[in-house]
Structure 1
Amino acid sequence: MKQKKREKILIVEDEKSMNEILRILLESEGYDVTSALNGNEGIGCLKRDIFDLVITDIKMPGTDGFTVLKTTREISPDTLVIMITAFGTTE
């Protein structure tokens, strides 16, 4: 019997607890999850592997989520990207 391909997800989140929560939740749903704790590490993962989805924090020290988005588009244009942030606005 042929096994179904597990979708690969990359989490790029500098907040360790949020990174871990997302990883545990997604793995429990059957996804193949790789996590990175900063933008540079995430970009390194993108250069080594192909992902179906990238979930990235927007505000991170050093390389931010917009740079991760731009790099994802350059390396793997078909990869979906979800951008998250803990910083809200009051409008």
Structure 2
Amino acid sequence: MVIHGAVIIEQGVTFAIISVKQTVTQYTVRMTRFRQAIAPYFPNMPIILMSQDKNGTPHFYGRKDVVDFLKTVPLDRIPWKVYHIY
């Protein structure tokens, strides 16, 4: 599986942000299963899922304090990487 994401350290909190399709974030069960599947690759850190609507507006799902922070950060400032997960 190939995912687009970033690991960020901000104010002493290390977290992962993963870009997913809206079909993942539309349903709580899908978000939970996806997080569980990738959690071993991002150990001991909150996983924030991000999807974009048809207008390109990002929507974040996860720990509230991290989500509130990410809402203030332009997407092009996030250090996105491609992760190959096997």
Task: Say yes or no: TM over 0.5.
Answer: no
Higher share in strand: 2
Interval containing the TM-score (normalised by the shorter chain): 0.3 to 0.5
